[in-house]
Amino acid sequence: MLKKLFSKQINMDTLSVEERVALAKSEPIPAHVAIIMDGNGRWAKKRAMPRVAGHHEGMKTVQKITRFASDLGIQALTVYAFSTENWKRPKAEVDFLMRLPVEFLGSFLPEMMERNVRVEMIGNPELLPAHTQKALYDAMEETKHNTGLVLNFALNYGSRAEIIDAMKGMLEKVQEGELTIQDITEECVTAHLMTAHLPEPDLLIRTSGEVRLSNFMLWQLAYTELWFTDTLWPDFNEKNLLEAIENYQKRNRRYGGLKGEETT
């Protein structure tokens, strides 16, 4: 591969972003990247600003990273925007967070159409405010025929709740005779998850220095490569994403088995 030919001779830090992108594209790009966007509040606190200012800046980062992910050829980008546990935050902060999708989708939708991006979501939309639901449904309807990057928002999402719902769905089918107990396999469980139509994430990124999954895609991340950075989400940029992908491309994904020289 092109990167392997040059890696011994060239310090990646000396290359331009354009050159690093070209090298990254010469290796397999992760099909599905999932991001736990953490650090908005700390970013604001460091600047003596209210927490909501950090969330608003983080929204701009989603736009920037979506553009770059699309340019790189990533097929799906799942961003953890609001968890089932986030309802515990102060009401004013939650209300602000629920308005962000309206602003984001309202301003960014024309560009997403130009870039062939499709908007989707995982999570329970029923508890979201009406204006948040409308913005999401309108964007999903508008972009449903787009065939490029899938921008997948995890909103009011919790992985344990998702798995429980999948279990209930399968049990109902067993009771109705559509499934037998023997039919319940890993593939069957996967097919009943909210992400059934997407490839499982190849790469998970978490920002802000936290090193945990926080109830995010627990089933889907079983063999995902994990990458953690101290960078706060509002400061996360194209170079950070490129660094994560370059790190991913150096790894040997064995899925519990052995590869290459390890088998000899």
- 89 among annotated binding-site residues: yes
206 is in an annotated binding site: yes
200 contacts 191 by C-beta, under 8 angstroms = no
Please enumerate in sequence order all residues whose Cβ is within 8 A of that of 56, keeping only pairs 6 or more positions apart, or say none.
100
253 a known binding residue? no
User: Could you tell me which residues come within 8 angstroms of residue 206 by beta carbon, excluding any fewer than 6 positions away?
Assistant: 35, 36, 38, 212, 226, 227, 228, 229
Would the annotation count 251 as a binding residue?
no
Determine whether the annotation assigns residue 213 to a binding site.
Answer: yes
Task: Extract the tokens encoding 149.
Answer: 């990057």
Per the annotation, does 160 bind a ligand? no
Residue 41 labeled ligand binder: yes
Please confirm, yes or no, whether 124 is among the known catalytic residues.
no
Q: Which residues of 222-253 are buried (b: 16+ CB within 10 A; e: fewer)?
A: eebbebbbebbbbbbebebbbbbbbebbeeee
Say if residue 256 carries a ligand binding annotation: no
Task: Report how far residue 99's alpha carbon sits from residue 188's, in angstroms, rounded to the nearest whole number.
Answer: 36
DSSP state of 87: G
Please pick, among 11, 13, 38, 202, the residue that the annotation labels catalytic: 38
Nearest to 76 by CA among 17, 128, 32: 32
- R_g (Cα) of the chain, nearest Å: 20
User: Is-contact 181 108, C-beta < 8 A?
Assistant: no
Annotated ligand binding at 43? The verdict is: yes
Is 177 annotated in a binding site? The answer is: no
Question: β-strand 225-228 against 203-206: which pairing, if any?
Answer: parallel
Is residue 40 marked as binding?
Answer: yes
**Candidates 11, 86, 230, 252; catalytic one:** 86
Annotated binding-site residue? 214: yes
Our answer to whether residue 252 is catalytic in this structure is no
Annotated binding site for Mg(2+), which residues?
A: 38, 225
Kindly list the catalytic residues. 38, 86
Annotated binding site for substrate, which residues?
A: 39-43, 51, 55, 83-85, 87, 89, 206, 212-214
Annotated binding site, which residues?
A: 38-43, 51, 55, 83-85, 87, 89, 206, 212-214, 225
